[in-house]
Structure 1
Amino acid sequence: IDNYIKSCIPCAQFNPRRQKPLGTLKPIQPPDGVWQLVAMDFHGPITPTTQRGNKYIISLTDVLSKFVITKA
């Protein structure tokens, strides 16, 4: 079935795309000083969990100095 659908020209012409088009990147101006622009990310779930039962880690990164702070 998969090979038939891939080789079907009318299916390819009239079947709507199910993926969003790719986005474009926009340049970011470098900050004038430390901690003026911060990037944040979440990691997890992690195993094993911490002693307090935390499953996720948050990380904050200063874009200028690349200094990272993490907290579980």
Structure 2
Amino acid sequence: MILYTTMPQEIIFPADISEYEKQRVVAYNGISLVVQQTEMNAYQIVRNLSTDPAHYLNSDYAPGQTIYLGP
């Protein structure tokens, strides 16, 4: 896609880094997940990074689910 404009790229495509700073990658039951902390030991799944299709069918690892990690 080509945009013919005099506007700087930062205005057209703003980079909101603060949202990504709250996320981190964890291994939960052998599955790589991108999570965002909601409480002290509670995390909400943002993205499933697994390459196994069976992990996507398991609703326990679906985005939006809450998992609890030990200290």
Q: State whether TM-score is above 0.5.
A: no
TM range (shorter): under 0.3
- Which structure is higher in helix share? 2
- Which structure is higher in strand share? 2
TM-score by length of 2: 0.28
TM-score by length of 1: 0.28
Of the two structures, which has the highest relative contact order with CA contacts closer than 8 Å and spacing of 6 or more? Answer: 1
